[in-house]
Chain A
Amino acid sequence: MKKIDKKRLFERLNNLIKDYVVYAPKGKDFGKIEDTSEIKRESINVRLSPKQVFLPQEEALFTFKQGDIKVPENNEKYILFGIRPCDAKAIALLDKNFDTKDFPDPYYIDRRKNSILIAEACIEPESTCFCTAFGSGPFESKDADALIIDRGDYYLIDGNEKALSLFDGLLEDDGGEKILELKKKAEDSIKSPVVEGIDKKLSSMIDDPIWDEVSRKCITCGACTYLCPTCYCFDIQDVGKDDKYMRERVWDSCMFTVYTLEASGHNPRKEKEKRMRQRVMHKFNYYPFLYDEYGCVGCGRCIKYCPVNVDIRKIITKIMEV
């Protein structure tokens, strides 16, 4: 571990804005900054997750006009400063889905390969946090390029060469400072549901009456999925705007009625319990099946922002009790 003075870190970050697109917490949300004075946290974690950097809500895959097709290029370099360990893990999960051997997604990969993730440890997690359920934690460093820990006037920092080289000349010896207690206190404050074995259990629960029960209060809006750092479903549509025509990729949500509506008019997931099942199955059964990891990182956004208090922790517990 090294130590870095906060003021000097922000000065350096300001200089880096010339070469990098820098994203950081800006009040409630996460966004692009022009100056580090814009960095401000209004809650432990930001509302709109960092997935927007690599998978924007709306993006042109190509533009076309009278046979002239152009694919947008993206050579930007990104720094994501102050994301939380859960969101760093979420990006690692998105990598598994978009950066695959068989179907690499060039749009996602172009942005992702030129990015540096600097995560900040959560010294005081929120009551909605449950990252420890998935083998991660408030001080987890493995999914980010660097982890910083706020110590007042300075940060403790650890990371790979790519991230630490950004701060060349500013890193000091940490003087043997111990963070074990701080880490333990943060971890102990998190109450996570038990999830061990939920993936296998769900395999035989496709027709279980539980889906009707857990989806009753759901009003099928897309708040949970749009704020979720790992939900990546998208729709592709052709759009004409101001004499510009393009094929666009836009976020979609399994909670919407039209999500799987087919051209014939048939909808295999017309009922909301089937769509709730899809959301839960995708995170806790399909993702582990495909990638050996749960598709949820326990950030708690879906709990915090649900208009009717659908609590995924309660759903997990109910499944485990079946």
Chain B
Amino acid sequence: MADKIVENIRKEAKRILEEKIVDIVIGFEKGTLPYTASPVFIENPDDVDKLIWNRYCHNNLAVYLRNFPDKKIGIIVKGCDSRSIVALMAEKQLTRENIYIIGVPCEGMLDKNKLLEEFGDNPPIEVKEEFLYPSCQYCEHKNPVIYDFLTGEPVQEKEEEPYPDVVEFEKKTLDERWKYFQEEASKCIRCYACRQACPMCYCEECFVDTNSPKWLDPGIDLPDLQVWHIIRAYHQAGRCVDCGACERACPMDIKILWLTRKLNKDVRDLFEFEIGIDPEKVPPLGTFSLYDKEEFLI
């Protein structure tokens, strides 16, 4: 099955490059470490054999789409990556005509660190759900929502409550929640891997990088780290597709996914909105309505 998918990806990539439908194809190549795939950029149709597909293709490739403004791009996407494309289209960051989407239904990506810990360098044959990345465990859009070409059998989507982790988290007391947040934020070294791995963090100038006004001091004082994480999350409210790229990119293993997931759940509950499904629907953060709920004002 996986071999067939790889074969189809290569064939289609070769075709769209040869027929000049696209100038470049963004996909995955074999990584240099165990349990690793790495983003690759193919321009020559003869190079398509570099392309692979496996359970380690966890990066959200949509993050690269804005890097080639003058090119027609072919891109290989999972469910989450396809939602990022829709979200970027909704915010007028991409033109659909310039992108050719090769979709692959995804059974969830495997957590490299968990596998290394459990199996060392010898990959397991059978993989249990517990080895999936947290974002993949909760995923409710395993199948690409938008594509020009689909390879692989559609995967059964989950139908239970999509935010079980957030529901549990909400049960904690305010002090417990704050303490957990502080502990996680305190590990931050401000390398901004979370920001850079995110397709939706596309600001030309991030608020942490401005110096007039200077919103945030440099360095690793806890209050500054907290402000960084809170504002990053708020800017993602209802814009984040829950792909988990931020958490996977973090070299310090900071748990940050729950923060954006909580905000996404709030946006779903308050505005009945889910990002990355309909490119015509603008996220609540990007629009204004006289009928916005304002219970908090009074």
Contact = CB atoms under 8 A, between A and B. Distances in A.
A168 B114 CA distance: 43
Interface string A194-229: 000000000000000000000011011111011100
A217 B63 contact: no
B259 to A, nearest CB: 18
Contacts of B195: 221
Contacts of A217: 38-41, 64
Contacts of A304: 33
A182 interface: no
B39 A308 contact: yes
Nearest to A307: B249
Residue among A127, A217, A256 with the highest chain B CB neighbour number at 10 A? A217
B39 A226 contact: no
B34 A127 contact: yes
B271 interface: no
B221 A237 contact: no
Interface string B27-40: 00001111011111
A309 B218 contact: no
B41 A216 contact: yes
Contact of A221 (B36, B37, B197): B197
A235 interface: yes
B251 A47 contact: yes
Contacts of B218: 58, 235, 237, 239, 248, 250
B84 to A, nearest CB: 14
A166 interface: no
Interface stretch (B69-77, B167-175, B176-184, B185-193): B185-193
A256 B121 CA distance: 33
Given A219-B193, A221-B193, A221-B195, A309 B219 contact: no
Residue among A127, A219, A220, A253 with the highest chain B CB neighbour number at 10 A? A219
B27 to A, nearest CB: 11
Interface in A129-159: none
Contact of A57 (B67, B192, B220, B251): B220
B197 A307 contact: yes
B55 to A, nearest CB: 15
A24 to B, nearest CB: 19
A309 B38 contact: yes
A150 B31 CA distance: 33
Contact of B251 (A219, A223, A311): A223
A58 B33 contact: no
A222 B192 contact: yes
Contacts of A314: 32
Interface string B197-235: 100000000000100000001111100000000000000
A219 B34 CA distance: 21
Contacts of B39: 216-217, 308-309
A207 to B, nearest CB: 20
8 contacts: A223-B249, A227-B251, A237-B218, A241-B217, A241-B221, A309-B38, A311-B33, A313-B32
Interface of B: 31-34, 36-41, 59, 63-64, 67, 121, 189-193, 195-197, 209, 217-221, 245, 248-249, 251-253
